[in-house]
Chain A
């Protein structure tokens, strides 16, 4: 959707046009559901976040000022809704503050199996995809949210920062740590195929 399309839709939304509300849902429900499912890890909570996102967006549409695109704004509402729910479930682990930066033990690579040489059918098998999803689920939520928006949903660094109300440097730092942790997990997982296991 271009900026002009966005502006036209915003004008209709702010005028209370119900077909515009439906269009906003139709255009964005899939991506918001994907984000919610990956953040929450289960379909029931994902659906709650999806509904809450659009209900909140409709209430706040009059205050929308086009400082970001509509889709980034929705990502922001959905991320906040998901984080609020996760915080209720895991109050100790979920904080919107900067994660405590730990050094060597947290980010230094320890697994040096080169899985790049494995056949594509091993890398892309369903079991590998499940392992990839599990690894994301196990990321601390502060890293998970950045990784999902940036590397899975394909937002730019700036859009991710905007959606999560973070600085650019915080996004880069969290993305780096998330990617390093996932690399470590995938290396450990795929190492079994390089150490004699058969497909």
Chain B
């Protein structure tokens, strides 16, 4: 495991090709053959293995990011601006 920049060592033609397909791999939509190729490549390319793992982890972490709540005051002002206060559904929060 290293945090040293190593872009120069990582810019092989194969690595570039796999990087171009990372999103599909992370989403599980990558073509089966290419998926197998990538996984074989990762067995002997440490940098690609790290990039793939951290890329997928990044997507997962953002999926888990807590959602900000709309403040009640903001919601109330919205209904007022829209002139809909009397039609607002009962608060079931």
Report A's interface with B, CB cutoff 8 A: 18-19, 21-23, 25-26, 29-30, 33-34, 37-38, 43, 47, 50-51, 54-55, 58, 104, 107-117, 123-124, 128-129, 132-133, 147, 151-152, 154, 172, 175-176, 179-180, 182-183, 186-187, 191, 194-195
Whether B65 contacts A152 by the Cβ 8 Å rule is yes
Contacts of A123 in B (CB 8 A): 57, 61
Q: What is the predominant secondary structure among interface residues of chain B facing chain A? A: helix
Report B's interface with A, CB cutoff 8 A: 1-7, 10-11, 16, 19-20, 22-23, 26, 46-47, 50-51, 53-55, 57-59, 61-71, 74-75, 77-79, 81-82, 84, 87-89
Q: Name B92's closest neighbour in chain A (CB-CB).
A: A26
Bound Cα distance A21, B51 (Å): 47
Give the 4 A-B residue pairs with the shortest CB-CB distance, closest first.
A113-B3, A22-B87, A191-B3, A33-B70
Whether B66 contacts A194 by the Cβ 8 Å rule is no
Contacts of A179 in B (CB 8 A): 22-23, 26, 55, 58-59
Question: Known contacts A23-B89, A26-B88, A51-B78; is A113 also within 8 Å of B2 by CB?
Answer: yes
Bound Cα distance A90, B24 (Å): 32
Residue of B5, B58, B87 touching A183 (CB-CB under 8 A): B58
Whether A182 contacts B62 by the Cβ 8 Å rule is yes
Within the complex, what minimum Cβ distance (angstroms) separates A55 from chain B?
A: 7
Contacts of B16 in A (CB 8 A): 108
Bound Cα distance A124, B50 (Å): 20
Whether B87 contacts A18 by the Cβ 8 Å rule is yes
Whether B63 contacts A151 by the Cβ 8 Å rule is yes
Bound Cα distance A154, B82 (Å): 28
Of B4, B71, B78, chain A has the most CB atoms within 10 Å of the CB of: B78
Contacts of A183 in B (CB 8 A): 51, 54-55, 58
Residue of B19, B26, B70 touching A30 (CB-CB under 8 A): B70
Whether B7 contacts A108 by the Cβ 8 Å rule is yes
Contacts of B20 in A (CB 8 A): 176
Whether B10 contacts A109 by the Cβ 8 Å rule is yes
Knowing that A33-B68, A109-B10, A113-B1 touch, tell me 18 more A-B residue pairs with CB under 8 angstroms.
A22-B88, A25-B78, A25-B88, A29-B75, A104-B7, A108-B11, A109-B7, A109-B47, A110-B5, A110-B7, A112-B51, A113-B3, A115-B54, A179-B26, A182-B58, A183-B55, A187-B54, A191-B3
Within the complex, what minimum Cβ distance (angstroms) separates B46 from chain A?
A: 8
Whether A132 contacts B79 by the Cβ 8 Å rule is no
